[in-house]
Chain A
């Protein structure tokens, strides 16, 4: 499987960070998150269930807050095996 990555790092003030977060929230509501880098697209379909974590750390005056979403795109397979195990007798 190929790995697609998107990476963006910047310095922002609270106002501009808010606008990035709002556009991610919009994407979540629309069910599709699209990230592009130099024309290359990484699209993610939002699932009904996603893992959501918030982590924070404070050390020597350094603050870190991580918001993480992770989920699998392949839906659980539901298979009814009764039909295939049935044998037809004579």
Chain B
């Protein structure tokens, strides 16, 4: 963990900043030029301590040969804490400096700054013990103090505004406002310190709002768990969620009902979360057990949260990369059967447009921000013309408008290999992350699945052969279904869908060579579709090699 020198210096810094707060408070209460000098010179000492701690953090990170993630988190947290302690020290000097502009010192005494100083001092005292013992309850209390400071700031702000309306002591009142503004910013730094402590405890960057939402969600579902006793772990690859692994009381007894001991907590964008809620309810009607159960949900003005069942098992991605061939074969067979059953159960004889090209257009900005050269300009090679990307997309969009799927199904909407779970104990496939589910063209799920296979960053021959096999089987399954359903435009819609998935997936791919390959494949497919426009679409043949790598 932290070196002795680092711990010692950080303890010194907390002591110095606390003294700085005490003396700033005394100065605001009593005035005095000598006191200001003292605050000013202590600031230099605090700055030096910050530099020493920073150097110590960077050296420890750079020199240690084997450093665990936990140690790294702890050092990162220490660094954040020291930077924010130093800021609090700076704000003390700035607040104290404002006294030079105050002609009437007594006016300041009409306002309640003491409570802010008390809160800051109280919570700074807890920083070192929390860092040592990992007390989450106290870390959360530090975070929440910021909100209390904001409330006190607002009360005083309103009082200052009211006094300003009287038209007297305007200059002095503005100076008082500036002082309070510095105190309010000290609260922001305290929040950063609290969040750094959460990082050191959880090994996860998490915002206090997420905790509050979780607390509300848990309590709404009738579960009175003390958050300080909840163990979290993040879901790989997702920033918006954290998984509650265990919820246990002091005596080791579960505090909440057994079925929620493993659940997923999701908090974030209200629209997405509510879409997921609606879809989970719909999936539960169509196919009970296929998707996670919904335990509870919570909404505020801007965000929403869900507590849903955690599905045990492995993702399809894990099986395709690490599973043995027999297991993979079993899982693929099961997956195809599940997908076919979904299609059959939800098939609705209403034509539906897939809008693959508008989906490319909508994500173009994100693609270009990662790969600025992933669009073609007009080029001429002798008498041959190369169509620019924009024109190609516009023309293909017009074609696509006449190519509706003959029926709709309820699609997953983000049918990536890591959104498919295989539960070996119950021998069943289950689906997660359903906020994009909707009535749409079944081809969309197939193409997303195929491209999510394609873009696995593995290049060993045997794994690529395995990925190609999975792709071929999924494609064949979908094609057989299309034939059965007399879906004559299956291949051309699949070409557009693959073009969409190849193009838009490049925004997740930093390996430029691999991303470029997907970019070229997308253009090739779009050009193929365009070249076929004067012939009947049922004669369009998808160049199937495009799906394999």
Query: Which A positions have Cβ atoms within 8 angstroms of B?
Result: 6, 8-13, 16, 19-20, 23-24, 26-27, 33-39
Contacts and interface: CB of A to CB of B under 8 A. Distances in A.
Nearest to B523: A10
Contacts of B378: 36-39
B523 A35 contact: no
Given A8-B379, A24-B381, A27-B382, 4 more contacts: A26-B383, A35-B380, A36-B380, A39-B378
29 contacts: A8-B379, A8-B381, A10-B523, A10-B524, A11-B520, A11-B521, A11-B524, A12-B524, A13-B543, A16-B527, A19-B384, A20-B381, A20-B382, A20-B384, A23-B381, A23-B384, A24-B381, A26-B382, A27-B382, A27-B383, A34-B380, A35-B379, A35-B380, A36-B378, A36-B379, A36-B380, A37-B378, A38-B379, A39-B378
Interface in B501-535: 520-521, 523-524, 527, 531
Dominant SS at the B interface? mixed
Contacts of B543: 13
A39 B378 CA distance: 8
Interface in B163-197: none
B382 A8 contact: no
Interface of B: 377-384, 386, 520-521, 523-524, 527, 531, 543
Contacts of A37: 377-379
B382 A24 contact: yes
Contacts of B527: 16
B220 to A, nearest CB: 53
A13 B528 CA distance: 9
A37 B382 CA distance: 11
A38 B386 contact: no
B383 to A, nearest CB: 4
A19 B531 CA distance: 13
A43 B380 CA distance: 11
Given A36-B378, A36-B379, A37-B379, A11 B523 contact: yes
Contacts of A19: 384
A35 B385 CA distance: 10
Complex A-B, nearest 4 residue pairs according to Cβ-Cβ distance, in ascending order = A23-B382, A38-B377, A36-B380, A27-B382
Contacts of B384: 19-20, 23
Most chain B C-beta atoms within 10 Å of own C-beta, residue among A10, A20, A38: A10
Contacts of A8: 379, 381, 386
B520 A9 contact: yes
A33 B382 CA distance: 6
A35 B381 contact: yes
B458 to A, nearest CB: 17
A71 to B, nearest CB: 17
Contacts of B531: 16
